[in-house]
Amino acid sequence: MDLQQLINQDEFQPSRLFAVKVKYFSNFIDFIQKTLWQDPQYRSTLQALGKGKCVTDYYLDPSSQLLLLKDQLMVQNDPRIQLSILQNLHDSPLAGHPGQEKTLTLVNWAFHWSGMTQFIEDYVSACQKFSRNKDIHHKKYGLLKPLPIPNSPWIFLSMDFITQSPLSNFFDSILS
């Protein structure tokens, strides 16, 4: 089975290429085929493989003309494609907004591009759902010390600042 047939299947088995069903914009493979040859980073590799030369760990899929690095589809340096892949492998309800390492593992099973690790780290750290759902790894806050009970009104005045909260109506702080 070639790569084109595998991507067009309705259901993916957990295999060497995919662990989560990935949805692509309509002509994903065609777009990669056309733009990969325009990417100067991969052009020389593609030309060498087209002439039948051996390039370590790279090969050209004969039916789809896609560049593969071992079993990974090479993706050019196009943020639209990279973002589409991450939206489907990180934001998908099946994926559940995993952390940086798990997202990197999911993407790494099927795709490769230069700067992939940094791109994924930036994407996951900016994900609001991931930030809300991740475990808190800090020491417990200290005990609160109540103020003494005043003898008459307005003797003591206290204010609490709660900061670094999730954004709500563009604000992240509360004064109480």
Please say whether the beta carbons of 71 and 15 come within 8 A.
no
- Whether residue 117 is contained in a domain is answered as yes
Domain that holds residue 60: 3-133
pLDDT digit string, tens, across residues 36-49: 777 777 777 777 77
Record the pTM: 0.54
Among 9-23, 49-63, 135-149, 158-172, the minimum mean pLDDT is found in 9-23
Q: Which has more pLDDT, 132 or 162?
A: 162
Q: What is the CA radius of gyration of the chain?
A: 25
Q: How would you class 101 by CB atoms within 10 Å of its CB: exposed for 0-12, middle for 13-18, buried for 19 or more? A: exposed
Distance of CA 26 to CAs 4, 31, 66, Å? Answer: 13, 9, 17
Total of domains in the chain: 1
Is 89 part of a structural domain of the chain? yes
What mean pLDDT, rounded, does the chain reach?
74
In a domain, 60, yes or no: yes
Q: Would you say residue 159 lies in a domain?
A: no
Residue 24 has what pLDDT? 46
Domain membership of residue 22 (yes or no) is yes
Is 32 inside a domain boundary? yes
d(CA 113, CA 119): 10
Q: Tell me the C-alpha to C-alpha distance, in Å, between residue 57 and each of 68, 69, 73, 95, 120.
A: 8, 6, 12, 29, 23
Burial of 8 (0-12, 13-18, 19+ CB in 10 A): exposed
Asked whether residue 128 is domain-assigned, the answer is: yes
Distance of CA 59 to the CA centre of its chain: 26
Residue-wise pLDDT tens digits, 109-155: 888 888 889 988 888 888 766 655 666 667 777 788 887 888 888 88
* DSSP codes joined into one string, 73-116: EE--S-HHHHHHHHHHHTSSTTTTS--HHHHHHHHHTTEE-TTH
Residue 60: helix, strand or coil by DSSP? Answer: strand
Dihedral over alpha carbons 97, 99, 100, 105 (to 10 degrees) = -80
Q: Which residues contact 18 (CB under 8 A, 6 or more apart)?
A: 6, 12, 109, 110
d(CA 111, CA 116): 9
**pLDDT value at residue 22:** 43
